[in-house]
Structure 1
């Protein structure tokens, strides 16, 4: 069975999944076009919030998520060493009570075991490190990934060298299946591809009633999330990160958006205070986000977040000074364990990607290769199936199906309408 050596592939969405998949498919010799509705790539969640390269402890209640993070991390670091930023320290701490007075969701012993799933994990004394109200704390060799202009510049160069055709400021209105081809309809024209990949972050262009077709009844929520931006007044040679687990707790992460030797920009997020609302559609979330302003964030949200971070890191505000905020709408799975890996599936020749963590782009691309192979196998297979009946592509069922299905009308002068025997008896 021989497949086409070179496919024409259209990818919608210029974030981490779209750009990584584009490069991987170009390595295999396929012709790739990438469509992005914004003026540049990495303008959405990937370019603003995709910071942490997880080793796993952020998800103490989902072993599957931890495993997927660790499995993809080494491959990711090997693939994109220019974008990986190592830390002076990456501290995971276990809080006594969260912002709502709730106790932790996992025991201290369970959290310790989760952190020590990473061989490099080192136990630290919270008080000696300047922290309070913590049961325990651990330092891991967990890096960050670059975002913003540094990320965009890197990928535009890579995509250009690879020969990926970029369509920027190009809004895709629909994806339509044309049998063995798929059509991308944009605001400036139509494009036909052998394979189309929807990497819009599960925000648009999904098949109707897709939830009813999936093998698992998944729940999706679109969360309006913001991050408070701070400047480090005493930056070190390497950045740091600090997160308190497991519940409504604060998190401090570096923002690596340039090649400056010393990084000063950080964001502060919180498990409850910076996740502002959840909606059943991306559009509703964007509408809410547009209604936010500096007064609401500065007077209502910032005080709560700073009260929380100083509860665990009393001298945080002595070192970090507030600069502003940024926000976005994130599609998330609704699961008890906070499962956060990516999901890929194909329907009617179009492959869809539900985003997980940044390093999960490695896994998503690998799964897409398998799905593409399956699409080609079905398209070019020497056996066809219809309602459970199989027949070869060389059979008349396949080659002459239209002619076979074209039936004579009743009463038409046609041999199949002859009733010679009945006519003889009628005449006698």
Structure 2
């Protein structure tokens, strides 16, 4: 599932030639996976560096399990927690949570921002068009591909989120959870 729900996905940790009888899974949650939304990379790294085993085990894990148990009551009996990992994801701040690939060129550098992994194939074609200078549109100092994803989605990409809607680009989960625990 996606959005404001827990999600569990198989993790492909099979090593060639090794028998692996216990499959691993990755669990994410739209409410609790995104620790915050930041204007700069350094701000995101700062928040990421504050996360630790104790915070995840005492604060995040119980919230994940509680919500997962709503949909799968035997979840805690079937799975064992092994640990957590974190990363920083770059996303475009939009009203409708835009997740397609955006590909453009500026000052001789080609940029690809792929919201989901399956978008890389569309981005590949757009990169080739930019390299060959085929079907290029210009906007300010930016070049992008005519009929490419940015061309098709320019209105959605430029529509900023309203602050009164649930939107992952406005989340500040880490700060909210720390604030709640200070008051408890």
Match of 1:283, SS?
A: helix
Indicate which of 70, 77, 86 corresponds to 1:318. 77
User: Is 1:283 matched up with 2:39?
Assistant: no
Partner of 1:250: 6
Shift of 1:261: 5.6
Unaligned runs of 5+ in 1: 1-242, 378-428
Partner of 1:328: 87
Partner of 1:32: none
Partner of 1:361: 120
Q: Are the counterparts in 1 of residues 68 and 75 from structure 2 also a CA contact under 8 Å?
A: yes
Separation (CA, whole Å) in 2 of partners of 1:333 and 1:262 = 40
Aligned-residue Cα RMSD (Å) equals: 1.9
Indicate which of 53, 57, 74 corresponds to 1:298. 57
- Over 3 Å counting, the alpha-carbon distance change for 1:364 and 1:262 in structure 2 is farther
Flag as ranges the 4+ runs of structure 1 deviating above 3 A. Answer: 259-263
Matched residue pairs, number? Answer: 132
Partner of 1:351: 110
- Over 3 Å counting, the alpha-carbon distance change for 1:293 and 1:334 in structure 2 is same
Q: Deviations over 1:43-83 (max 9, x none)?
A: xxxxxxxxxxxxxxxxxxxxxxxxxxxxxxxxxxxxxxxxx
Q: Deviations over 1:76-107 (max 9, x none)?
A: xxxxxxxxxxxxxxxxxxxxxxxxxxxxxxxx
Q: Deviations over 1:298-354 (max 9, x none)?
A: 001111110000011000111111111000111111222222011111112221111
Separation (CA, whole Å) in 2 of partners of 1:262 and 1:344 = 41
Separation (CA, whole Å) in 1 of partners of 2:6 and 2:125 = 34
Shift of 1:360: 1.2
Greater helix percent: which structure? 2
Q: Are the counterparts in 1 of residues 6 and 28 from structure 2 also a CA contact under 8 Å?
A: yes
TM-score, length basis structure 2: 0.66
Q: Are the counterparts in 2 of residues 248 and 270 from structure 1 also a CA contact under 8 Å?
A: yes
User: Is 1:273 matched up with 2:29?
Assistant: no
1:146-225 equivalences in 2 (<5 Å): none
Separation (CA, whole Å) in 2 of partners of 1:360 and 1:354 = 9
- Over 3 Å counting, the alpha-carbon distance change for 1:261 and 1:297 in structure 2 is closer
Separation (CA, whole Å) in 1 of partners of 2:106 and 2:92 = 20
Q: Are the counterparts in 1 of residues 35 and 47 from structure 2 also a CA contact under 8 Å?
A: no
Of the two, which has the highest radius of gyration? 1
Q: Are the counterparts in 2 of residues 254 and 263 from structure 1 also a CA contact under 8 Å?
A: no
Q: Deviations over 1:115-166 (max 9, x none)?
A: xxxxxxxxxxxxxxxxxxxxxxxxxxxxxxxxxxxxxxxxxxxxxxxxxxxx
Q: Are the counterparts in 2 of residues 344 and 367 from structure 1 also a CA contact under 8 Å?
A: yes
Q: Are the counterparts in 2 of residues 342 and 356 from structure 1 also a CA contact under 8 Å?
A: yes
Shift of 1:358: 1.0
Unaligned runs of 5+ in 2: 137-184
- Over 3 Å counting, the alpha-carbon distance change for 1:262 and 1:367 in structure 2 is farther
Shift of 1:268: 1.2
TM-score, length basis structure 1: 0.29
Match of 2:89, SS?
A: strand
Match of 1:301, SS?
A: helix
Greater strand percent: which structure? 1
